[in-house]
């Protein structure tokens, strides 16, 4: 009688149990999907807030102010931020880019216009060329100034707000135009891949953390459950081959910004956040 209905059409105990189990599984899956959708809403809200606050925070991320301070032997607020990004990246990688970066907010908006994956390698060469020139000038500035003479977190930001005069909006809009134009022209996070001066600090932190064997936050996978649907590749804003990487058990790339798009988009729920030490 197990697995069959009785003569009057009433399900047997086994059939009823199976139905109840399916119902429970569906009930469990629904809250999980809601949680994942909420996570992406929170992340995008944080990025939008960071973009809206960019007129306040611009100087604290400015490569120019770092050099201006170096010429006077002063460690500026932007250089302090870059150092903090390096330190947090030891464990959290480039999570800043996925959750708090103002240009990340701009890039998320631009995906509605151009969501084409980019070729990461040639753009990375451009980014490191830009960074090398900037870093060389920065070091030369401190050398010519006779070393570090002081620290000024608010250099050229006397009122604590970066864009506090009408003329400063020219710089602000030029930065937005450059970063937005590169992203719209190149594709997903085009500006991040090609010219971002902050990414190398976090990339260095990620690699040093891995070298030291520190526990690092990654996107981990249960490879045996994957159906190779390719959703993770399509979702990734950094154009990473997530589907290929997850076969090794985790996404191990300094370009991963831990946004969780692949985690929350995976229909089989094979991806998740987790800490991992270098094997």
Residue 1 has pLDDT above 50, yes or no: no
pLDDT tens-digit map of 98-132? 999 999 999 999 999 999 999 999 999 999 999 99
Q: How confident is the model at residue 35 (pLDDT cuts 50, 70, 90)?
A: low
Residue 278 has pLDDT above 50, yes or no: yes
Q: Domains of the chain by range and CATH?
A: 41-214 (no CATH), 216-279 (3.30.70.20)
Residue, of 256 and 25, whose pLDDT is higher? 256
Q: Global pTM?
A: 0.86
pLDDT mean over 45-70: 97
| Residues 6+ away with beta carbon under 8 Å from 1 | 12
pLDDT mean over 79-91: 98
Residue 244 has pLDDT above 60, yes or no: yes
């Amino acid at each position: 009688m197990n697995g069959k209905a009785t003569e009057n059409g009433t399900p047997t105990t086994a059939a009823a149990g199976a139905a109840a189990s399916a119902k429970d599984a569906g009930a469990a899956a629904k809250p999980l999907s809601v949680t994942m959708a909420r996570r992406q809403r929170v992340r995008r809200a944080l990025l939008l807030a960071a973009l809206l606050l960019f007129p306040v925070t611009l100087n604290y991320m400015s490569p120019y102010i770092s050099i201006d301070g170096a010429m006077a032997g002063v460690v500026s607020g932007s250089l302090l931020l870059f150092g903090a990004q390096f330190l947090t990246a030891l464990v959290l990688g480039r999570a800043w880019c996925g959750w708090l970066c103002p240009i990340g907010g701009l890039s998320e908006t631009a995906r509605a216009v151009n969501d084409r994956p980019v070729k990461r390698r040639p753009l990375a060469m451009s980014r490191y060329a830009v960074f090398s020139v900037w870093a060389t000038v920065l070091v030369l500035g401190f050398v010519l100034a006779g070393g570090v003479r002081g620290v000024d977190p608010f250099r050229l930001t006397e009122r604590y707000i970066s864009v506090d005069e009408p003329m400063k909006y020219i710089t602000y809009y030029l930065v937005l135009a450059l970063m937005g134009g590169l992203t719209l022209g190149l594709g997903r996070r085009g500006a991040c891949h090609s010219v971002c001066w902050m990414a190398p600090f976090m990339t260095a932190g990620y690699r040093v953390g891995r070298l030291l064997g520190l526990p690092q936050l990654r996107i981990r996978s249960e490879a045996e459950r994957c159906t190779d649907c390719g959703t993770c590749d399509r979702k990734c804003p950094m154009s990473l081959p997530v589907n290929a990487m997850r076969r090794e058990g985790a996404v191990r790339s300094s370009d991963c910004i831990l946004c969780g798009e692949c985690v929350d988009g995976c229909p089989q729920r094979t991806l998740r956040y987790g800490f991992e030490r270098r094997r």
